[in-house]
Amino acid sequence: MPAEPPTVQHDAVQPDAAAHDELRHEEPAYQNVPSHQEEPVHHEEPVHQATSAEGDPHAEPDAYDPHADLHGEAAHPDFAADHAYAGHPDDVGHTPYAGHPDDIGHAGYAVHHEDEAHHVYEDADVYAAGHHSEQHFDEPEHPLMAGAATVAAAPAKSKKVRRRRRWLALLLTLGVFVTALVVGAQFLKPLLGGDTIADYPGPGTGEVNVSVEPGEGTRSVATKLAEQKVVANADTFLRELTASGGTVAPGDFQFRQEMKNSDAVAVLLGKGEGKVMYFALSAGLRIGESLQAISQGSGIPVTELKALSDSPVQFGLPEKAKNLEGYLAPGEHRFPVGTPAKEILQNLVTTTVDELKAQGVTDPAKQYDVVTVASIVQAEGGQAEYGDVAGAIYNRLKPNNTETAGLIQSDATVTYGLGIKSFHIDEDQKADKSNPYNTYANQGLPVGPIGSPGKNAIDAAAKPKSNEYMYWVTINLDTKETKFSKTLAEHNVYVEQYNAWCAANAGRCT
């Protein structure tokens, strides 16, 4: 849509008497226009060089510039209305108007009075006497253009108007942009975590148990606490933890939801009441493996734990016990932070002894033997067959046993004595009497347990099933399926089944 007229500042669409007077007194604007008696003006140079009344092409433009206005304000119908020559000279008897009739709705000040049109052209009859059939303002060498040098007080004013409008448009655009940013930020803030608070006021409510695994990093711990709403923000909590300079140890911790970062850090570092030491022992672990797991969960050095274990008498074990092997009860264990190492080990031993007592085994020497049998049961059989394995072992230990002559013949005991873990031993290893755990070469029980038996194995060893089995073999290491027999011939058939399974599962029976 065309820009607003550069010179005319009308307040109403319909002309009034003041408008007529204004048009009637614009005579000086045409004093420099040549009369119709003069010869037509022929310019030797392009019209665009006559940019000022003095003819200085470099002067500040205070007159009409055809090259500038042909593409800008001059071509606007309002400009024609301001100087009252937009109509065709032959149309004097008709109603003149500024510009094309279609533009009346835009200009808003077209004159529709024949008398007024006649009055206008009385003083400007030079336009009616022109030799041009049409007067188009896009013709660069139109005679009117040459004489328009003094008619241009308006363009300077129009530049100020345009400048103000450009500034207004720029401010409006900037306002829209800023508004869009503010609105967009409100939508993006939740997605970008802008609504996440840095810390809860505390002290928190409820109870949340969080475990820190051995080797778990602080970033993982912080994320875990934030996910369970213990802390408000993982990043700010991590900064608080780092600033404390403390070291996170594995274990179970009791927190509250919506705690202050500083309070949660205190719990994690053992400065609060919620920190506990945690470790888990699997059934069948050997003493070295058990001590290592305890150390990782409690932070107590393995050397300190081993020194205590190597003096088993102080924990109530019989003199023949070399260490706490077999007595460190499997399961999950939790202790308050700062619990002494001896107290931890004593608790595990007591758990095992209490289970033996519950099964009617009260004598410490007898308890030691039962734990030893239970450790072999744990290593040799599947849980469904624990009672039968225990019965077969006791059958072999009977004085009148002529089938095996008092030999338990357990591969698990031999490998324990060798310090290895394997499902296969050779004949030389079976014949080695120097191995005190070699139940192929040495009659009776080995010198001690070969691992930590679980409750079911202890119960089976304390109260074995009554049977006549002398042999057993696990024919499937995945399912722990165990076959029992009374004679060696029958046993050898099951051994072949075991060998077939090993052949079908390469690398498993090593």
Looking up tokens 């008398």 gives 115
Radius of gyration of the chain (CA): 54
Give me the pLDDT at residue 188, please: 55
pLDDT in tens, 152-171: 445 555 777 788 888 888 88
Look at residues 381, 379, 380, 359 and name the one whose alpha carbon lies nearest to residue 370. 359
Residue 324's pLDDT band, with cuts at 50, 70 and 90, is very high
What does the buried/exposed string (b/e) look like for 382-418 if buried means 16 or more CB atoms within 10 Å of the residue's CB?
eeebbbbbbbbbbbbbeeeeebbebbbbbbbbbbbbe
Q: Whole-model pTM above 0.75? A: no
Q: Which residues contact 419 (CB under 8 A, 6 or more apart)?
A: none
Of the ranges 65-79, 116-130, 463-477, the best mean pLDDT one: 463-477
In whole angstroms, how far apart are CA 26 and each of 51, 120, 124? 22, 9, 11
Q: In the predicted model, is pLDDT for residue 498 greater than 70? A: yes
Q: In the predicted model, is pLDDT for residue 301 greater than 50? A: yes
Cβ(236)–Cβ(198) below 8 Å: yes
Alpha-carbon gap, residue 257 to 304, rounded angstroms: 37
Alpha-carbon gap, residue 248 to 502, rounded angstroms: 45
Bridge-partner residues for 255, per DSSP?
A: 208
DSSP class of residue 510?
A: -
